[in-house]
């Protein structure tokens, strides 16, 4: 009976999410949703071949030259622009706007666009979470949460960068509580 309730609740949740998504997406007009076949078949091209990108690149260098002549200091210099546009020249740009896009399609030549930064983000987020978890496990009570013990916090933070290694043994049961120790609210 409990499993049947869970299944019906899950179905209701999926249905509600679907209806919410459809109601939010319903505001688009037919003209906004029209598909340009040329854009679908070949939406991106190397930036060095896109005219809109070339125009933006020339405008950036022109702006730098004008600011230099007027004695205005900008947040970027010629070396910075050279580095930026050398990277963008190898990227993929939208043919109409000339703006660089990340390509997340599984090809290995685009691995550095999304996968490596994504994994690095997950690692750092996991390390911060593990540091907080370790600090709370070592705390002696609520007073340690109000007044942070800095040496203990730093120790937990430094040890947290090993979190993938230290988390593996805990997956076998140390991280989880037995079912009979979990309280269930009366229904």
What confidence score (pLDDT) does residue 14 get? Answer: 58
160, 128 in Cβ contact below 8 A? yes
Strands of 92-94's sheet, edge to edge? 44-46, 92-94, 100-101
- Quick check: 126 pLDDT over 90? yes
- Report d(CA 136, CA 148) in Å as an integer: 10
pLDDT at 77 over 70: yes
Would you state the pLDDT for residue 2?
46
Name the pLDDT band for 56 (thresholds 50, 70, 90).
very high
Query: What's the CA gap between 131 and 153, in Å, rounded?
Result: 8
113 against 149, higher pLDDT? 149
Residue 183 pLDDT more than 70?
A: yes
Pairing mode, strands 44-46 and 92-94: antiparallel
Q: Among residues of the chain, what percentage have pLDDT more than 70?
A: 76
Tell me: pLDDT of 6 over 50. no
Please name each of the domains of the chain with its CATH number: 37-101 (1.10.8.110), 112-181 (1.10.8.110)
> What confidence category does residue 3 fall into, taking pLDDT thresholds of 50, 70 and 90?
very low
Beta carbons of 92 and 100 less than 8 angstroms apart: yes
Crossing angle between the packed helical segments 111-138 and 150-160, to the nearest 10 degrees:
140
Greatest mean pLDDT among 35-44, 127-136, 137-146: 127-136
Tell me the residue ranges of DSSP E strands in 29-175.
44-46, 92-94, 100-101
Where does the pLDDT of residue 131 fall: very low under 50, low under 70, confident under 90, or very high at 90 and above?
very high
């Amino acid at each position: 009976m409990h499993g049947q309730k869970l299944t019906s609740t899950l179905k209701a949740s999926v249905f509600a999410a679907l209806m919410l998504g459809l109601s939010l997406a319903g505001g688009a007009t037919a003209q906004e949703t029209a598909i340009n076949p040329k854009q679908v078949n070949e939406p991106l091209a190397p930036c060095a071949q896109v005219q809109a990108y070339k125009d933006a690149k020339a405008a950036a260098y022109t702006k730098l030259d004008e600011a230099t002549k007027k004695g205005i200091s900008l947040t970027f210099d010629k070396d910075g622009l050279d580095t930026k546009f050398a990277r963008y020249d190898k990227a993929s740009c939208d043919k109409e706007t000339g703006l660089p896009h990340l390509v997340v399609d599984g090809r290995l030549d685009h691995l550095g666009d999304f996968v490596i930064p994504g994994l690095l983000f997950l690692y750092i987020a996991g390390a911060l979470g593990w540091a907080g978890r370790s600090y709370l496990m070592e705390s002696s009570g609520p007073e340690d949460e109000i007044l942070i013990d800095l040496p203990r916090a730093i120790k937990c933070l430094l040890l947290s960068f090993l979190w993938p290694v230290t988390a593996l043994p805990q997956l076998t049961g140390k991280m989880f509580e037995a079912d009979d120790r979990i309280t269930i609210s009366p229904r």
